[in-house]
């Protein structure tokens, strides 16, 4: 049994229980999951967040030199980049799931081992982390809406 934090297109958050990830995927594909608040079938898993805690003495000062303006990536290139980032994170980051906000905060405060982590966070949690100055990034899902 797996539990996912889900969010509908109107940003209602709720928990979904599924026998397995595959069952979640199947139900999501067939639009069998609906929001208990508004009944929307446009439901996704919560956005993923990841954090790499960089020691202060290692962080390079921001460069002032002007870089030539890069051409923005095409949607296809952007999706490819995202897939690569997600793959890299899966390989190299510890999955802390819904404990992400707590773990990121403890790493930031030096209360637990410093390591790259990824997991899920609610918009409220990411707002709190940002307020506390905890470094993290949220990643858009590579599966773009079709
Ligand atoms: Zn809803």
Q: What is the pLDDT of residues 10-40, one digit of tens each?
A: 999 998 888 888 898 899 889 999 999 999 9
Q: What is the pLDDT of residue 144?
A: 46
Q: What is the DSSP string of 69-109?
A: PPPPPPHHHHHHHHHHHHHHHHHHSEEEETTHHHHHHHHHT
How confident is the model over 53-83, as pLDDT tens digits? 554 444 445 555 555 666 777 888 877 887 8
Q: Is 11 left (phi over 0), alpha (psi -120 to 50) or beta?
A: left
* Per-chain residues with Cβ under 5 A from ion ligand 1: 8, 10, 12, 35, 37-38, 40
How much distance in Å is there from the Cα of 132 to the middle of ligand 1? 29
Q: What is the pLDDT of residue 39?
A: 95
Q: What is the pLDDT of residue 67?
A: 57
């Amino acid at each position: 049994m797996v539990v996912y934090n889900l969010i509908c297109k109107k940003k209602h958050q709720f928990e979904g229980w599924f026998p397995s990830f595959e069952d979640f995927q199947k139900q999501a594909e067939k639009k069998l999951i609906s929001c208990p608040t508004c009944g929307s079938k446009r439901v996704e898993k919560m956005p993923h967040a990841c954090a790499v805690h960089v020691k202060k003495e290692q962080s390079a000062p921001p460069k002032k030199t002007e870089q030539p303006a890069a051409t923005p990536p095409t949607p296809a290139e952007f999706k490819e980049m995202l897939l690569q980032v997600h793959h890299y994170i899966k390989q190299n980051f510890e999955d802390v799931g819904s404990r992400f906000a707590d773990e990121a905060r403890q790493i930031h405060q030096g209360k637990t081992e410093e390591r790259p982590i990824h997991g899920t966070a609610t918009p409220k949690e990411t707002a709190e982390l940002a307020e506390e100055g905890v470094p993290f990034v949220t990643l858009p899902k590579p599966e773009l809406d079709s």
